[in-house]
Every structure is written in structure tokens, then in C-alpha cells.
Structure 1
Amino acid sequence: MGNGRKNLFAISLLLAFGTLAVYLPSLGNHFTTYDDPQYVTANDHVNSGLTLSNLLWAFTTGHAGNWHPLTWISHMLDVQLYGLQPVGHHLTNVLLHTANTLLLFWTLFGMTRRPWLSMMVAALFAWHPLHVESVAWISERKDVLSTFFFLLTLLSYSRYVRQRSKAFYLISLFCFACGLLSKPMLVTLPCVLLLLDFWPLERAQLKDLMAWRKLAFEKIPFFTLAIVVSVITVMVQYQGGTISSMVKLPLGARMANAFVSYFRYVLKFLWPTDLSVLYVHPGHWPSAFVASAVSFVIGITILALGCASRRPYFLVGWFWFLGTLAPVIGLVQVGVQSMADRYTYIPSIGLSVLLTWGLTELAQHKTQLLTLASAGALSVCLALTWQQEHYWKDGQALFQHALEIANHEFPNVSLQSSNVPLTSGFADIHFNLALALEKNGYLDDALRHYDETSNLKPNYLNAHYDQGVIFANQGKSAESIDQFRAELKLNPNNSRALNNLGTALMQTGEANEAFAAFLHALALDPANPTIHYNTANAYAKLHRWPEAQQEYEAALRENPDLPLVSYALAGALLAQGKTRDALVIYRKLLQSNPEQPQLLDRIAWILVTNPDPNIRNGTEAVRLAQHACELTHNSKPALLATLAAAYAEAGRFDEAVVTQKNVLNLISSIPNETGFKEASQRLELYESHKPFRDGSALN
């Protein structure tokens, strides 16, 4: 192996192991409460793994306001491999980022034959803290996956140019299609190919119009794919309600934010501090700041055009940055953020090329100084990346950090603020922080941030709902009712809020309103087994057993694999005297869970106390009751009482007496335990060689 090959191999190893090492901490991070539930943990299509129906869903859904089927499939594959253990999902992101780093190095080297400069660009890409969001956030799989195909497209395209191979052209087109199916942001890739035609592939001079027409014609299939995916994406985002209207954010404000964002992205690239998961959109930037940003962008653009013939890398790097950011620069506003670190994953490559080639040219006779400066810059990037990863350990750390940065940038936000995007952005931060705090058990803090969310944005959906859930779990029915009603004023068709409202109203005795809420919820979501189950429980609480039976059966029709519902249905049947039907259900449940003491006891009790001699079976009851007592180490008085009754029914009165005495001993040793008198009466029965057959005295 020659020195050149050895150097390339050494560079590849350095990039790969350096990237894996710096992102090692992210493998210990959890799923966050920000998008991870809808992308993975609470997405039934994803967390059930790779199935034919899930694959079909991936290609037809606009879930989460995006159309990216390959991203959905990659998440499904992770679940297939790792289940819902976050370490595996993080590992996939890290491996894809490492692969992207190596692809970028080899693609640039193949085009420029400059190994050390290509290495520097790849290292900046791999280790820059701006890219932590794309790698450490499981939901941003679309970034690392789409970039993998983006770089494969460039690599194949460069091979096509060098070898004039139609096969590599088709491979490049196929990789581009895969990239678009991973994230639509890649729609500007055909323009990147034209930039590369100028430099470093040198297929046309800047003023050679005939050559550019030919090259543009060559890209027609690429542009066609980009246009089709752009139309689909805009349609999906409009239908999902994620695109802000011109009323909320006028075109002038969007254009101003676009220039400001370009400027801020450059600053973040050069000085990557105060990085946040959500940069709040102020709605209107100060005029002086906008003017400075516009001057900066236009000035660098003029400079890039002016030196294009002498320094083509400058034009390519700058227009790569401008062009690949264009789809997410905010002219079509999606969400409440003004910018996002994840959007720089591909665009920053252009800045790295511009900076690396430019500084090398400026310091061509100061190699040692340039080497030291490069090593220092990369060391700082590594340290900042390591630090930034830790903010992504969970949602609480992530949004506490985001709130600190937002408060630093905009310290005077309040309910009276007339700036809608600004207050909406702060509301988003408070809401997501509340979600994370709730998940970690800090309920009082969570409630405070939910309140702050509603104060900043009174029509914020789900803030009242989540508060209601917390209050309901704390047994504060009245408070939960207030919150669910507040949520329903904002969204009267929220079936979850209606369902929970009905449950809370039943607890406070407001049965009529409760049933109205349940019926409304069922009308909105008739296939929801949980709503059917809760409605059935409400009927059961009022001893309306036929209606309860009907709703339990409806729940099981929607989802037969609900043991708790089956158990409740058997109870409703038993209450109506349908003992044989109840036993069928109990026995079926026992087959799937033979080690359940309460189920064993329930069947044994029926076999002992039922007035129908054709149902009573003392021998079987003894077997079941003995097993229930063994599983609980003979420590439960109720289960031992069933065993004593079973012995008596089977004619084994001596054992019944001994067992019933054990029941009395246990009852007397347990503080505040009731039932001593009844237990004594049963003992007298067994001592008189009489069985206990009182079906109304269920224990």
C-alpha cells in the first residue's frame, strides 16, 4: 500500500473513530417528549415493526405534517431490531452520521483530489455542535438518512461525470429519489449538481450559456422528481395545519426573518454557542438588524460572484449554503421557530468548503500555523459537541436549556405581547418542558409550566388536557373536570378529553353529564376500545349490567386482546346470573395466565358458592384455590377463606376447619381488618360438617 493510500486509510479511520467517540454519550440518552412519541414511542404503526400494512401506511400517510416513507420504514426497522430501547435508535443515527462523514470525505476527495482539505470539511461536518440536533434526536432520523442518500447521489454523479456511465447516472437518480423519500428538503439537490458542474468538476465556465443549457437539460429527471415531491410536501403540510398563514406572519416579516436567519446561521457556524432546540420567532426583527443581515447576505453574494473565476470554491460554497437552506428559510413558515440547528446539516457543508479552501489559500505559506489553527478549531468543536449532547439526554434538560436561551434573547415576553409568533414560541417551550417534567414525575412543576403555556397562548391545544390528566391521576376530580371542560371549549371534538371528562364526572356523581360526554366521545371515535371500556365501567357503577355488558363487548370487538376488559365483562355477566357464560371467559383468561391468584380465586369461589349443583365442583375448586394460596404464600385471608370453603364443598371438613382457623388468625393480626364475625360463623359451619353456599356473600 502506497503512502497516498495509507494516508487516505488513516484519514478514514480518524474520521470514523473520532465521530463514534464524540457521539458515544448520546447512546445513553432517552427518548425525548418532543416529537419522539409521534415518530416512535406512541406511534402504533412504527412501534409494531415492519408489516405489510405498516409499509403501506408509510407511503400513504402525512402523519407529523411530512411525507417521508423511508424515514418511517427506518424507524420501523429499528423497532424490529431493538424494540423500544432508545440505545438502538440512537446507535442507528450515530452510524448513519459516521457513514455520512466518510461519504463526504470520499466524495470531495474524488472530485478535488485534495485529501487534507476534504478531511477538514468532513471533520467539521462530523464534529460541529450545530449537528448534534440531527444526530442526537431520534426523530431527526430524516436528516441523517436523507443526507446519506444525498451524498450517495453526489458520489454516483461524480462517477458518471468521470466515466460517462449511464449506469452511474441512473444510480444517482435512484439515490436522489430515496433521499426525497427520506426528507423533502433535498429538493434543491439538482441545483447543487449544477454548482458542482462549475467547480470542482469544471464542466462549464460561468458565461458559457450553451454548456449550461446542456447541463440543465441533463438534470431534467432530477428537477422533475424535485417538483413532484415539493407539491406533495406542501399539500401534506397544509392538510396537517403546520404552515402558518400570511395573516399570522406577513410576507415582509418572513423575508426579513429569512435574511436574519442566513446571517444567524453563519454566526452559529463560526461561533456555535447558545444552541437551542427551538429558536423563538419574534415575528418582527428590529429594522437595523434586518438591514445589517440583508447587507451581509447581498455583500457576500456579490463578492462570491465577483471572484468566481479566480476562486470558484467561494461561489460554490456560498450558493450551496444559500440554496440548500432555501426550502426551510421561512418563506413558507412551518412551525413557530425562526431557525433550527437541524436545517444546517447539509447547508453547512458549503460554508465548510468556502472556509477551508479560502483559509488554505490565504495561508499557503504558513502551513504550520494553519495546521495548529485547524486542530484548535476542531478541538473546540469536539468539546462543544460533547457538551451539547448532554442537553439531549431527555426532554426536561432539553427544554430547560431552551427556555434559558429564549429568556436571554427575549427577556420581556408576557401575555400582553402583541407578537403572536413570539408568544407561540415561548408557549411551545413551556408546553414541552411541562411534558418532560410530567414524565419525570415533577408534577407541580409540570402544572406550573402548563399554566404558563395557557397564559402565553390561551388557545394552546392539549395544555388544559394534560393538566386534567395530572389532576385526575392525583384524585382531584373537580380540578380535572375544570381542565377538561376548558380543553373542550378550544376543541369540542377532542374524544380523549370527553372520555376523561366522563370518567371524572362519574367520580363526582354527575352521572347524566358523564354519559353525555361518553356518548359524544363514542360518536367521534366509535372504534376506541378505551372509551367503550370506560363507558361500561360507568354503567357497572350504576349496576346497569346489560348496558355495561354491551359496552364491554364493543370494546373487545375493537380489540380482543384486552384481558382486563374480558375480566370486567365476566363480572357483568355474573351480576346478571349468567354464570356459565362468565365461567367460559374466566377459564379462557386462566389458560393465557395460569399464575393469576385473583383469577384462580374467582373461579374457585363460583364453583363453591353457586346455588346450581350442576355448576358447583368442590374438587376443582380445591385445586384452583390451593394454587392461588401457594402463589400468595398463604398470606391472603380472602384467598384462604375460598380454600376453606372449597374443602368444605369437597367434604374435607377437617382441612376446612384448619384453614378457616388460619383465616381468623390472619384477620386478627391485620389492623383494621373486618370480617372477623363472618369468618367465625363460617368456622362453626365447617365444624358442623356443613358447606358454605351463599353466593351473595362474595368475599
Structure 2
Amino acid sequence: MSYPPDSGNVRSQALPVAHFVLIAAVACVIYAGTFQAPFVFDDRTSIVENGVVHSLDGFLHEGAGYRNHPRRVLGYLTFALNYQVGGLHPVGYHAVNLLIHIIAAILVYTLCRIIFREPSMRESRLGGHAPLIALSASLLFVAHPVQTEAVAYITQRLTSMATMLYLLSLVLWAKWGLLQDAARQTAVPRWVYAAVSFSVASAAMLTKEISVTLPLAGLLYSALFLSVPWRVRLLRLLPLLLGVLIPVVGWHLSGPSADSVEEMLDQARGGTAVSRWEYLVTQPRVLVTYLRLLVFPVAQNLDYDYPLYHSPLALPVFCSLVFLLSLVFLALWLVRRAKAGRIDSAFLFIPFGIGWFFLTLLVESTVIPLDDVIAEHRLYLPSAGAAMAVAVSAGLLVARVGAKVVVAGSIAAVLLLGTATWRRNEVWQSPLALWSDAAAKSPAKARPRYNLGTVLTGLGRYDEAIGEFREALKRKPEYPEAWHNLGTAFAAKGETDEAIASYRQALRLAPDLPQAHNSLGTALMQKGETEEAGGHFIQAVRSAPMYPDARNNLGAFYGMEGKTDAAIAELEEAVRLQPDNPRFRFNLSEAYEQKGWGARAAEERQKGERLRNGS
């Protein structure tokens, strides 16, 4: 059965719209409970405490946005736009994340439809069912619980947004190829699709580095679904190739932040102590875990305590390698049979899904050792290909088990996955629930205990927090952030000497840790040791110039020292970095009073009052 070309009638145009509405509705129902979820984990440093995203000036005029986040500047720009609209209210951030997820699912649908329009696929008996297969793929993608980390975790917008742009670039590129092959006039010139695909590929690269594999995705698509000569196929990859290369060249030329590929790799490592060899050897086992999560998504965890392996001959690694190689051989066997016409061409979706899974994990599952050897958000992009492969496989079962069984099974799968996602999202609604869950599932790991202690401190449960920090330090004694937060809990209890001792230990382990310098300065001020306190505030600002709390404290210190002009400069910068903080406004008002600027002082005091009263 061949796939009928679009006729342009009302029914053919209405069908995708109805499907898109269903996709969006399912996503909204599943993720409705996340809208009030607070900032968690890296959200604090990436958004709440990141002065760069508290103003659009750094992105539009000053260039601070690019200097601080050159390889993810577009993602951070969206955080800045969110901040301009709603400040630090999480609901707006979650709404954008959900919108991105819906668009990504619609693009999975669109890519699946485009593949069925390729000349090599038109003889497939599934062609007439392409809309339903595409709908199944997109619903599997949008409802799968493994997506929760990329959607509910605000900072992982970088992953979901890069995936959305990745898919959009590939869809436009594939559409351009179809129009080239058809050689007919279109309402939009054919070259526009190539140009926009190129631009979107560059945008994807400026959102997250996983987009560097986009030309490989185009090559995989070309190898499996195109029938034109290879010279033509390779030339058609130019928009994708140039789209990802131009930002890389820009990073290299932009200055010290990207002087070399080696430096880029070191920055990507995030300071982890895991060697490249250990990371690489562990990844086959990780890839099998990823596949298990796609098929059987249970025991999900924000912070896995995953074992490291040192030899490919270790039994778990060796067995994983055998399994992964069997998938590769299965893919090659299906390609050979489908190309020879022995099986339906729709079987090519299975090697496409397998190849897509491997190539989209190349950046994060090979030789660049990241902080975490495994993370669920890394499955967001790979799951797009997996969803299409599973949906087509279900379609191929129709001839054997009947359409009713397949449809019922597909509906049941989406309902089960959606329910699991709803339940998983309940954990994301509270930092206490999230980190209690992680600590229970990774009892021997220090970081979940550290984060649970941080949450308990924020809830005023200081004794419990101190207990969690001590548990974290038992597991990892050289953990400067845990020492710092232990000091914070002591300070909140009024045990200033214990807090100072903890802060000093944090600085012995990490001499440039800005939070520790800032907190130690605050504690020393309470003890009356102002001179040393001022030195720590200065060091905090030197280590983190965009750290608003440190700017505020340094300004207050200068005010106490009678250095009014210096105080005003620091406090104005603090207000610029975090304009909705009433405490900063009141301190700036006092500095203006010291300067004799009564009108300015009154204006800042009024702004502070309005912020404090929530008006």
C-alpha cells in the first residue's frame, strides 16, 4: 500500500491539527502538577543566583551572556526572558519547558510523516497508516516517564530546547530534500528550507553541545531513506554541517574561553575525577541501562550511584558490549534485507532508531567524562528515534495479530507511560520529596545527602540538616560545598563558632569558593571581625563577579567603613543583578542617604517596600 500524497483538502489538513491538539492535551495533563514545583538542584546556580539571566542587557548589549555561557547562550537567553516576564516565579519557567516538550513531540510526528513520503518508502504497506504511526510515536515520546528530568527540571531546558531545534533543523532539511527530488514549484522557494535548516542547526549548537551530531543524523537519514546518488546525498548535508561548524569556529575565535578543543573538553568534564578510560569503559553498561529505562522505566533516580568499571572484560561491561553489538548486527541485517526488497521498507525505521540512539549519545557517552556517568535527561534526544522505531514496529505487527490488538496495546502503553510520568512528577513537586527519593535510592552517595541537608536547612529543620551534611561528609570528607552548607546550618542555629570552623574547612578544600567566602565574611561581621570579613567579601566578588549577595555584602561593608562611593557602586550592581530583592534596595537607600541623595534614597526605599509587600 503506497502513501497517498497530500491532497490539500479540508480533511487532510484537519487530521494533523487534531493529532497536534491530542499530543498537547496529553502533555498538559501529565505535566500539570509540575507548574508549582520550585527551583531545584542546578536551578539555583543557573537561574536564581545567576545575575547574568536577571537582565537582558547582558545578552543584548554588554555581551556578558555570551561571555559567561558561550556554548549555551540561547538557552540562557530564554531564562533571561522568563525572568523579565515573571521574575523568579517558577510557573513561567515550567510553562516554557512544557511548550518546548510539546513542540518537540510534534516534530517527532512531522519527521515520521516526512520519512514515509520519501520515494524509497512509498511502497511500504504502512504508508497509508503514516498519520497514526506518527501519532503513536509522538505520544510515546511525550508521555514517557524518562522525559520528566528534561521537562520538570527547569535547567534541563537546555537539553529539551536543543532537541527541539535539532529535530526542527532535520525536518526542514528533509523537507528541502523532498522538494529537490520532486523538482516542482512550491509556494516557498526550496532554498528557504535549506537556509532555515542551517540557521536552526546553529541555534541548536548555541543551546547545547549535543547538537554537534546533527550532520551524523542527516547522514543516517540519507543512508537509510534516500535513493539519490551518494554524491548528491553528501552535498545535501552541507546546511547541517555548516550549521554546527560555524558556532564552533566562533567559540574558537571568541577568546580565552575557547582557545582549544582540549580546553573545551576539560570544561565539559565539569571537574569530575573520573578518568576518560573509566568513563568510556563504564558507558556500555550505562547504554544498556538507558535501553532498560526506555523499555521498563522503573526505579528512576535524579542522582544515580552508578559503579565505575576499569576493564572492558568486567562481566557487566562485556555482556553489555555483546548485547549492544547484537543490536548493531540486527540493524545491518534489516538494512540489507529491506534494501534488497525482501522485507517491507518500513523495517528501516528500526535500524534508524538504533543508529539514532547511538549517535545522539556520542557526546555524552564516549570519551568526555562528565560529572555523572549516567543521567536520565540525556535520553531525551535519543528517545525520539526510539519512539519512531517502536511505533513502526507496532504497525508491522498488524498483519500478524490484527489492528485491534495493536491499537489497544498502543493505547494501553500510552496510558501506562502517562500514569508513570504523572507519578514521577509528584516527586518533582517538592525538593524534599525529590532528594529524599534520591537519598533512599543512592544511600552510599554523598550528593543526595548534601542536597537533602540543603533542603532541610531551607525548611528550618537545622538539626536534621546537620545530620544529613555529616552523613554526606562521612561518604566524601573532601566535599567543600557540604562543609559550607554545614556551616550555614550552624549559623542558622546561632552557633557562629561552629559555622566559622566549617566555612574555613570549605575554603581549605576550595580556596576560591565564593559562597564560602561570602558566608564566612557574614559570620565574621557578627563576631565584630570586620577587617577580615571585608577581605572575604572582596574575594567572593573577585571569584564570582555576578554573585549579587556578595556584591550586597561588600557594599554594606564599604558603607560601614565610610567608603560611600564604593558602597554605592557595589550595591547598585547588586540591585542590577537582582532587582527584585528588597534587602538590596534598602541597603542602597541607606548608602544614598549617607551620600546626601535624599530623593534617590526615598525612591529606593519605596521600591523596597513594594517588593517586600509583594505589590
TM-score (norm 2): 0.81
Deviations 1:132-187 (A, max 9, x none): 11111111111222222122212211221121222211111111111111111011
Q: Report the equivalent of 1:203.
A: 227
Q: Which moved more, 1:217-226 or 1:108-117?
A: 217-226
Match of 1:589 among 573, 576, 601: 601
User: Do residues 21 (structure 1) and 29 (structure 2) align?
Assistant: yes
User: Do residues 297 (structure 1) and 324 (structure 2) align?
Assistant: yes
Q: Give yes or no for contact 1:104–1:151 (8 Å, CA) kept in 2.
A: yes
Q: CA deviation at 1:428?
A: 2.1
Q: Give yes or no for contact 1:58–1:70 (8 Å, CA) kept in 2.
A: no
Deviations 1:60-91 (A, max 9, x none): 223xxx72111111111111222221111101
- Aligned counterparts, 1:153-302, within 5 A: 153-164=169-180, 165-200=190-225, 202-204=226-228, 211-227=229-245, 229=247, 232=251, 237-238=264-265, 240=267, 242-243=269-270, 248-284=273-309, 287-302=314-329
CA distance in 2, matches of 1:179, 1:435: 34
- Aligned counterparts, 1:598-617, within 5 A: none
CA distance in 1, matches of 2:607, 2:392: 70
Alignment gaps of 5+ in structure 1: 205-210, 408-412, 414-425, 541-547, 571-580, 598-699
Read off the aligned partner of 2:76 and give its amino acid letter. W
Q: Report the equivalent of 1:104.
A: 108
Q: Give yes or no for contact 2:555–2:569 (8 Å, CA) kept in 1.
A: no
Q: Give yes or no for contact 1:566–1:585 (8 Å, CA) kept in 2.
A: no
Match of 1:515 among 524, 531, 544: 531
Q: Report the equivalent of 1:130.
A: 146
Q: Give yes or no for contact 1:502–1:515 (8 Å, CA) kept in 2.
A: no
Q: CA deviation at 1:567?
A: 6.9
Q: Report the equivalent of 1:555.
A: 567
Q: Secondary structure of 1:182's partner?
A: coil
Match of 2:98 among 94, 100, 104: 94
Q: Report the equivalent of 2:355.
A: 319
CA distance in 1, matches of 2:64, 2:103: 28
Q: CA deviation at 1:235?
A: 5.8
Q: Report the equivalent of 1:144.
A: 160
Q: Report the equivalent of 2:135.
A: 119
Q: Which moved more, 1:114-123 or 1:462-471?
A: 462-471
Q: Quick one: structure 1 residues 592 and 196, their matched pair in 2 at CA, closer, same or farther if it must change by over 3 Å?
A: closer
CA distance in 2, matches of 1:50, 1:37: 21
- Aligned counterparts, 1:412-423, within 5 A: 413=444
CA distance in 2, matches of 1:170, 1:244: 38
Read off the aligned partner of 1:87 and give its amino acid letter. V
Q: Which moved more, 1:313-322 or 1:120-129?
A: 313-322
Read off the aligned partner of 2:131 and give its amino acid letter. P
CA distance in 1, matches of 2:552, 2:15: 62
Match of 1:438 among 440, 457, 468: 457
Q: Give yes or no for contact 2:101–2:151 (8 Å, CA) kept in 1.
A: yes
RMSD: 3.0
CA distance in 2, matches of 1:484, 1:456: 19
Match of 1:80 among 63, 79, 84: 84
Q: CA deviation at 1:128?
A: 0.5
Q: CA deviation at 1:268?
A: 0.5
Q: Report the equivalent of 1:360.
A: 395
User: Do residues 459 (structure 1) and 459 (structure 2) align?
Assistant: no
Q: CA deviation at 1:354?
A: 2.2
Q: Secondary structure of 1:279's partner?
A: coil
Q: Give yes or no for contact 2:309–2:317 (8 Å, CA) kept in 1.
A: no
Q: Give yes or no for contact 1:50–1:80 (8 Å, CA) kept in 2.
A: no
CA distance in 2, matches of 1:566, 1:318: 58
Read off the aligned partner of 1:318 and give its amino acid letter. I
CA distance in 2, matches of 1:187, 1:582: 54
CA distance in 1, matches of 2:271, 2:319: 26
Alignment gaps of 5+ in structure 2: 1-8, 117-126, 181-189, 252-257, 339-346, 576-583, 610-615
Q: Which moved more, 1:20-29 or 1:292-301?
A: 20-29
Q: Give yes or no for contact 1:70–1:178 (8 Å, CA) kept in 2.
A: yes
Q: Which moved more, 1:106-115 or 1:278-287?
A: 278-287
Q: Give yes or no for contact 2:112–2:388 (8 Å, CA) kept in 1.
A: no
Q: CA deviation at 1:254?
A: 2.2
Match of 2:39 among 27, 31, 38: 31
CA distance in 2, matches of 1:558, 1:244: 30
Q: CA deviation at 1:478?
A: 1.3
CA distance in 2, matches of 1:241, 1:326: 14
Deviations 1:372-392 (A, max 9, x none): 111111111010010111111
User: Do residues 348 (structure 1) and 355 (structure 2) align?
Assistant: no
Q: Give yes or no for contact 1:498–1:518 (8 Å, CA) kept in 2.
A: no
Q: Report the equivalent of 2:120.
A: none
Read off the aligned partner of 1:102 and give its amino acid letter. I
CA distance in 2, matches of 1:524, 1:388: 38
Read off the aligned partner of 1:98 and give its amino acid letter. I
CA distance in 1, matches of 2:482, 2:135: 48
Match of 1:338 among 373, 383, 390: 373
CA distance in 2, matches of 1:124, 1:19: 11
Q: Give yes or no for contact 1:314–1:358 (8 Å, CA) kept in 2.
A: yes
CA distance in 2, matches of 1:503, 1:58: 29
Deviations 1:298-320 (A, max 9, x none): 01101110121323222211101
Q: Quick one: structure 1 residues 529 and 230, their matched pair in 2 at CA, closer, same or farther if it must change by over 3 Å?
A: closer
Q: Quick one: structure 1 residues 494 and 41, their matched pair in 2 at CA, closer, same or farther if it must change by over 3 Å?
A: closer
Read off the aligned partner of 2:43 and give its amino acid letter. D
User: Do residues 504 (structure 1) and 511 (structure 2) align?
Assistant: no
Q: Report the equivalent of 2:437.
A: 401
CA distance in 1, matches of 2:385, 2:483: 45
Q: CA deviation at 1:126?
A: 0.7
Q: Secondary structure of 1:328's partner?
A: coil
Q: Report the equivalent of 1:382.
A: 418
Q: Quick one: structure 1 residues 136 and 329, their matched pair in 2 at CA, closer, same or farther if it must change by over 3 Å?
A: same
Q: Which moved more, 1:356-365 or 1:587-596?
A: 587-596
Q: CA deviation at 1:502?
A: 4.5
Q: Report the equivalent of 1:427.
A: 446
Q: Quick one: structure 1 residues 505 and 118, their matched pair in 2 at CA, closer, same or farther if it must change by over 3 Å?
A: closer
TM-score (norm 1): 0.71
Q: Secondary structure of 1:462's partner?
A: helix
CA distance in 1, matches of 2:452, 2:499: 20
- Aligned counterparts, 1:510-549, within 5 A: 511=529, 515-519=531-535, 521-522=537-538, 525=541, 529-533=551-555, 535=557, 548-549=561-562
User: Do residues 43 (structure 1) and 40 (structure 2) align?
Assistant: no
